[in-house]
Amino acid sequence: MVLNPVISKLSGKLVVLASASPRRLEILTNIGLRFEVVPSWFKETLDKTLFKSPHEYAVETAKQKALEVAQRMPFKHLKAPDIVIGADTVVTVDGLILEKPADKQDAYRMLSRLSGKEHSVFTGVAIVLCEESEGGDTEYKVVDFYEETKVKFADLSEEMLWEYINSGEPMDKAGGYGIQALGGMLVEYVKGDFLNVVGFPLNHFCKQLGMIYNSPPESPAHKMKREDSTGHEGPWALVNSLSKCTENGEAKHQSTSNLNNSDSGCGSVREQNVVGPECAKFNNEGFPHHIVDLLDGFKASKTLFTASKLGVFDALSDSEGLTVEEVADRIKASVLGTERLLDAAVSLGLLCRLRLENNTVFRNTDQASRFLVSDSPLSLHGYILHCNDLVWPLFTHLESAVREGTNQYERAFGKKTENLFQDGYFKKDDVKMRFMNAMHSIAKVTGRDVATAFDLSGFKTVCDVGGCTGAMAYEFTKAHPGLSVIVFDLPPVIEMTSHFQPKEQDDRVSFIAGDFFKDDLPKADLYILARILHDWSDDKVHELLSKLSKACTPGGGLLVSEIFLDEERSRPSRALLQALSMTEGRQRSAAQYSDLLKEHGFTPVQTQYTDNLLDVMLCIKEDPNAEPMPVTPSESVETVIA
């Protein structure tokens, strides 16, 4: 078997798959390859019009995904990979590239186009070899190739189309179908590698590995060094030369090979420029898509806010589709204004527009139904209204905030307060309820990932400090049947928690009123600080951690959940944008939180990046009588990748 000689050579190497695809994971697992999965954060914004053929687009996207992971891991996950594998699959028909459908209507359009026709499936694959040079810098050797498979669909009836779409299978698959499952019933024949259509050309991949480990060092891979946007080598470079995102300089598109589309694929050898984390060198005539997207970004946010506040998603939640006039009537708005709002929401992927019995109607997308309808279990409706009513006014005074370095609450709302719940305005029940709804919705969306990040079977009692409505606490008791959780928060908050209790009562969650700066903390084996530390000044943070250290017995735990910045303080952007609100607190990296917690006797033992809104770190309280054991973060913290 072609892979057997290669497996032994990969022994002891950290091999990483830069894809969340369960199909690629299964294909590579089945051949006995040992690897980790780290989904790429690369935004698939490559401009398809710049590519001469579909396979070039797929190869470039695969390479971007793999390089992003290769260059992120040493800084975000505290370990360096040896090999990173990236892949991207596209379906092409009638000169169009079909990727994953945005919603059911999009899937219908894709499958209708494929009905009765032969089409091509291209998978681009990039293998990034990470090697440390004599100077200590990392060099990246990249091998990339593609595979093409021809697939013919039968003529599909409307009934068969919708039955397949309603199965849910098309929604996460290129071209809107999965050949290895129900989608196989739509296919008349396949010419070429079947697994390529599933998502990974295994045979071609094995051959490339054989070439890499049984050929001269410079073939077929080509070296790539990290550079920043000034041309100097730096830790966060990303090849992205064909992205819509652009910075200074230029780069010319280079074809993967001179082979035409009838060839099965090829490995390529070429030098490419490497630039900063999000933006790339681009030809001087290129349009600044990324900048224009930022220019319009506030309009997109306000469209979401307005549609939520007017109840558009709620109005569409109990219907198969409503006309503009019907939506306008339900939300008590003008027909003209409603039409333009709905059209904008469709362009943002929040709604879909379709023809139904000779009428144009609008319908929620699956994501809108799940996250934007106010009474859905994971609704972000409360937080969206909070952003509209509180955060938006603050950010309209950003210039003043930057000049003064202070929060703009007084300028935005005509009053100054140190604590929202001490303000007369926030003492109103309806306003207080809106604020708590916002906190509740964020906790619901993030809670499960935070609660399941670690094995907490060694703890029995938990105190969620500043736990607000208890949403996070209920997720912990669901995930860990042996836990009981005390939610500790201000009296005005605890008074309102009855409005947020789940339908199924859980007596393992209890509520105690108190101020975590002024009052004694409840006794517990494990304390939780979720979205707390970033809000307070350094003095207040040290005061709180000192108090927790005294309350926590040796061997007890502290779980901190925040957005963890990377070590370059460049990602994730949501943390850095949040910091512009100019609260007295600040955002920190995982290493900074680790150092901070060690000052108070807590040893970080595990860190997990959840790919959700919050990351998680678990710490254990040291025994003050034990001999200290100084270790580096890489030795003491096990990094887990969700």
**Which residues are known to be catalytic?**
88
437: left (phi over 0), alpha (psi -120 to 50) or beta: alpha
Cα–Cα dist 383/363, whole Å: 22
Non-local (6+) Cβ contacts of 230 within 8 A are: none
For the chain, what is the largest distance between any 2 Cα atoms, rounded to a whole number of angstroms?
79
99 with 31: CB under 8 angstroms? Answer: no
Structure tokens at 571: 């990602």
Q: By CB neighbour count within 10 A (0-12 exposed, 13-18 middle, 19+ buried), where does 128 fall?
A: buried
Determine the 3-state secondary structure of 46 from DSSP: strand
Cα–Cα dist 382/392, whole Å: 14
For residue 140, which phi and psi values (nearest 5 degrees)? -115, 120
Cα–Cα dist 291/293, whole Å: 5
Closest CA to 304 of 375, 380, 378: 380
562 with 442: CB under 8 angstroms? Answer: no
Instruction: Give me the torsion for CA of 256, 257, 259, 264, rounded to 10°.
Output: -50
369 with 317: CB under 8 angstroms? Answer: yes
DSSP 566: P
Cα–Cα dist 329/335, whole Å: 8
Q: By CB neighbour count within 10 A (0-12 exposed, 13-18 middle, 19+ buried), where does 95 fall?
A: exposed
Q: What separation in angstroms does the CA of 445 have from each of 318, 392, 448, 472?
A: 22, 21, 7, 9
Structure tokens at 608: 């997990």
